[in-house]
């Protein structure tokens, strides 16, 4: 009991140093996970003298950390980003893994003189890209959606088949032709369990009016962990079930979704810190010298042979340009996952497994140092780096149970095309309305002629049935501006009242919001041009008003305008 304050203080100090290391790593361009490993080594037997050599405990804690990291990755991955890259991402996590294991195993068997089964075991351990490394490095590089989506999917999905391959190759039982079918069965069942539990969890959370906001993130993460446990008990892939369940939950219309993502991100960082410090604590630096040459050989095989060939094989049929294939080949980041996988044969008593752990540690440090620091340069050289603002507007929601409605909250980010848009031009679906704008510490009720600015906090009240369409409309305007529908970016918003697009027309604007007079004019043709004026009964022209910012202050209001239809 007397040691508890010391242990808590030491743990908190390690976390604080690791958090400060993130800031340092962004300034010097050094991946933060290397600093975490260095902290662990400094605490170990060669530093402060802490001895820790329990491989089974390290493996168990490592897998628990991976579950949290995958949950964070799934919750923060947008389906709109990964959907265009779904086929390529799945191919990278399956076909590319098989090719990488084969090429690496054959090369290490020939170059290092390893037994064939041990060589392929090494290849399996080294073939997994790391979700923590990928999620932390790629999201601020301004890459195209397919590149980011395919790499995120690969890092989130490939842990499962690699883990199954390592378990099979670490077993003392003879391999059979049924083993690949067993792997496929466990992957498919794990994905199905993740989808089912993710959907059930999302449905339950939408209907549950929990008394505290902080309970929603806890419940969401609990669903992800239940998915892992259920899949493992069903002899399926728990890691895949975790990621898929988190992906489903993160892209569902959950209450307080952004708060849940922030909470999961914090736990993900904590899991990364604990995992890398633990692995650094476990490894003995005195043995790393002997592993240097094999580690460099294995790294060269991975970078210059196995990874490029696996990317080429996975890209067959997807028309991936050569520049993107080169970047994908260089972006196969390794991190904690190979080290955790290397502990599996060690706990199974495979001969030479201790050497494998040391080799993997050396390889991870070298590859992270080389690839992680040069990825931005490679992206710029290949002409793939773009605008660093790749995020969409973040929409959070709080349920209004008594009204069967939701309150959507969002902040207009810098660079958003919502800036300068009139409220009437939002054209939120019926049942939704912009009720309050907070700007510079003051709030006001917006009218049709109010203009949105960067940094504004918007509060939208929407019915439960209109919530999804309202979110999609806000995101489409954020991406494409006031003419989102004219440019084909509907954001998934259904047509308003049977029309393919809503056309504003003159109407008086009062202090209590927009009003509508006269019959609705016909919808314009589905081409990007102004429809011609229509002759009315009194001989005057009823002109169609162009949907641009140049409209005079007393201009049009639309019956579906952003001032809202709630309570009308």
Measured between alpha carbons, how far is 527 from 516 in angstroms, rounded to an integer?
26
- pLDDT for 478-503, tens place per residue? 888 877 666 555 554 333 333 333 33
Determine the Cα–Cα distance for residues 340 and 344; give it in Å rounded to an integer: 7
Residue position matching structure tokens 């969002």: 410
Could you give the 3-state DSSP secondary structure of residue 462? strand
Output phi, psi for 398, to 5 deg: -125, 130
pLDDT of residue 20: 83
Phi, psi for 209 (deg, rounded to 5):
-95, 85
- Residue carrying structure tokens 């620091």: 373
Confidence of residue 354 (pLDDT cuts 50, 70, 90): confident
Instruction: Please state the φ and ψ torsions of residue 462, each to the nearest 5 degrees.
Output: -145, 145
- Mean pLDDT for 57-72 is 90
CA–CA dist 433, 447 (Å, integer): 11
**Tens digit of pLDDT for each residue in 107-118?**
999 999 899 999
Residue 475 confidence (pLDDT): 85
Which residues lie closer than 8 Å to 354 by C-beta, 6 or more apart? 287, 346
Q: How confident is the model at residue 379 (pLDDT cuts 50, 70, 90)?
A: confident
Torsion angles phi and psi, residue 252, rounded to 5: -100, 160
Residue-range domains of the chain with CATH: 17-381 (1.20.1530.20), 395-485+557-568 (3.30.70.1450)
Determine the Cα–Cα distance for residues 538 and 320; give it in Å rounded to an integer: 60
477: closest CA among 424, 518, 435?
Answer: 424
Q: Could you report the per-residue pLDDT of 302-346, keeping only the tens digit for each?
A: 999 999 999 999 999 898 999 999 999 998 888 778 888 888 998
Q: What is the pLDDT averaged over residues 243-252?
A: 93
Quote the pLDDT of residue 502: 37
The pLDDT tens digits for 195-241 are: 999 999 999 988 877 778 788 899 999 999 999 999 999 999 999 99
Rounded-to-integer distance, Cα 306 and Cα 298, Å? 10
Helix (H, G, I), strand (E, B) or coil at 35: helix
């Amino acid at each position: 009991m007397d040691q508890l304050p010391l242990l808590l203080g030491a743990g908190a100090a390690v976390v604080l140093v690791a958090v400060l290391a993130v800031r340092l790593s962004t300034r010097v361009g050094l991946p933060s996970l290397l600093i975490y490993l260095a902290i662990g080594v400094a605490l170990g037997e060669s530093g402060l003298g802490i001895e820790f050599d329990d491989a089974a405990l390290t493996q168990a804690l490592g897998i628990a950390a991976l579950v949290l990291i995958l949950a964070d990755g799934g919750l923060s991955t947008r389906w709109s980003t990964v959907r265009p890259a779904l086929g390529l991402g799945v191919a990278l996590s399956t076909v590319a893994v098989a090719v990488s294991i084969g090429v690496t195993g054959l090369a290490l068997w020939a170059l290092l003189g390893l037994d064939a089964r041990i060589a392929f075991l090494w290849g399996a351990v080294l073939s997994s890209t790391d979700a923590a490394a990928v999620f932390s490095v790629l999201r601020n590089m301004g890459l195209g959606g397919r590149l980011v989506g395919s790499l995120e999917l690969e890092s989130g999905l490939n842990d499962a088949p690699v883990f199954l391959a390592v378990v099979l190759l670490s077993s003392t039982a003879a391999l059979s032709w049924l083993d690949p079918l067993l792997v496929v069965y466990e992957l498919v069942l794990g994905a199905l369990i993740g989808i089912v539990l993710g959907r059930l969890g999302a449905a339950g959370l939408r209907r549950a009016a929990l008394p505290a906001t902080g309970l929603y993130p806890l419940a969401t993460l609990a669903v992800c962990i239940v998915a892992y446990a259920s899949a493992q008990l069903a002899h399926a892939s728990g890691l895949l079930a975790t990621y898929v369940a988190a992906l489903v939950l993160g892209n569902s219309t959950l209450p307080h979704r952004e708060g849940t993502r922030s909470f999961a991100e914090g736990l993900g960082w904590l899991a990364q810190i604990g995992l890398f410090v633990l692995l650094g604590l476990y490894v003995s630096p005195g043995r790393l010298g002997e592993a240097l040459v094999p580690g460099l050989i294995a790294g060269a095989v991975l970078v210059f042979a196995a990874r490029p060939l696996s990317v080429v094989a996975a890209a067959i049929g997807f028309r991936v340009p050569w520049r993107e294939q080169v970047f994908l080949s260089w972006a196969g980041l390794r991190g904690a996952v190979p080290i955790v996988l290397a502990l599996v044969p060690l706990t199974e008593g495979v001969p030479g497994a201790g050497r494998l752990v040391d080799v993997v540690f050396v390889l991870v440090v070298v590859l992270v140092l080389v690839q992680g620091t040069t990825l931005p340069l490679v992206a710029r050289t290949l002409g793939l780096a773009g605008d660093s603002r790749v995020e969409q507007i973040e929409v959070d929601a709080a349920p209004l149970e008594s009204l069967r409605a939701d309150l959507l909250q969002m902040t207009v980010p810098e660079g958003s095309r919502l800036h300068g848009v009139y409220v009437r031009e939002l054209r939120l679906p019926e049942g939704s309305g912009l009720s309050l704008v907070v700007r510079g510490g003051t709030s006001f009720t917006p009218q049709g002629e109010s203009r949105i600015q960067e940094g504004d906090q918007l509060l939208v009240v929407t019915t439960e049935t209109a919530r999804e369409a309202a979110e999609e409309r806000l995101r489409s305007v954020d991406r494409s501006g006031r003419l989102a529908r004219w440019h084909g970016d509907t954001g998934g918003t259904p047509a308003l009242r049977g029309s393919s697009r809503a056309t504003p027309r003159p109407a008086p604007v009062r202090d209590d919001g927009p009003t509508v007079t006269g019959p609705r004019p016909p919808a314009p043709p589905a081409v990007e041009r102004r429809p011609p004026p229509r002759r009315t009964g009194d001989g005057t022209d009823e002109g169609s008003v162009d949907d641009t910012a140049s409209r005079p202050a007393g201009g049009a209001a639309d019956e579906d305008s952003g001032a809202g239809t709630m309570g009308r």
